[in-house]
Structures are given as structure tokens and as C-alpha cells.
Amino acid sequence: MILVDTSVMIGFLKGQADDRTELFKEILSRDIPFGISSYTYQEVLQGARNEEEFQTLKEYLSTQHIYYLEQEPATYEKAAKLYFNMRRKGVTPRSTLDMLIALTAMENDLALLHNDSDFNAIANNIPDFKILNTL
């Protein structure tokens, strides 16, 4: 199964043509199951330019499978520990949300389709984090 990151979802919605967006289009055309994280849901919606676009995005996103993290301290401690361990290796992730999206992928055994170099750094330091490069 595949988790699609905000970077790819926004590129797709804006009609951008890059290798990640093209891979997502192939996923769609082949009816390959995928989902988004609750954080991607929020990030896409908060980027709306007006109320009409917000409602259109909300309607589209409501048709997607959304993965959630458990809302308990242990979940956030795990994300913090991953972040902490990366910092100890000299790599500081730029976004707390990226760590939560990565954790969502790991906890649900999903490969992340992204267009954000921060996730490459995470994957290079966390062996359980899988990235989708090809189908």
C-alpha cells in the first residue's frame, strides 16, 4: 500500500508534471490502492486560496483513504525519539509534520510517495521507513 505525501498531492492538484506526480497518475490509472495521512489532509486544505477552493478540496479529499496516528502520548514520544535520534546523527529534519507523516507510513506498513528531500534524509537514517520510487 502507498501513502501519498502533501508534496505529491499538491503537485497533482496543480497539474505539475514531474516524475513523482507522473508516478501518482500511474497509480491512479492502474487503480492501485493508496491513501493520505491526516496531516496531508490538513496541509492541502490549509493551502486553499478561497472558500470555494477549500470546499472543492475538502470534497475531493473526503473520497481518499485517510490514515491516522493514535492520539496518545506514546505515539508522539515515538515521533520525538525518531527526530531526536536523527539529530544525534547530525541530521535535523526541518518539519515536525514530516516526522509524523513518516511515522504514519511506518505504523501502517506503507511506502511513501513524496517530492520532498526531507523524507530522503529520514529514510537514510530510519531503516523501517520505506519510500516508493517505482511501481
CATH number of the domain that 12 lies in? 3.40.50.1010
Per-residue cell: 106: 511506518
pLDDT attached to residue 72: 87
The answer to whether 38 and 62 are in contact (CB under 8 A) is no
CA max distance for the chain = 45
| 19 half-sphere exposure, CB direction, 13 A CA radius | 6
Q: Which amino acid is at 121?
A: A
Per-residue cell: 50: 478561497
pTM of the predicted protein model? 0.92
pLDDT attached to residue 90: 92
Q: Which amino acid is at 67?
A: Y
> Which structural domain, as residue segments, surrounds residue 127?
2-131
- Give me the number of domains the chain comprises: 1
DSSP letter assigned to residue 83 = H
- Residue 92 binned pLDDT confidence (cut-offs 50, 70, 90): confident
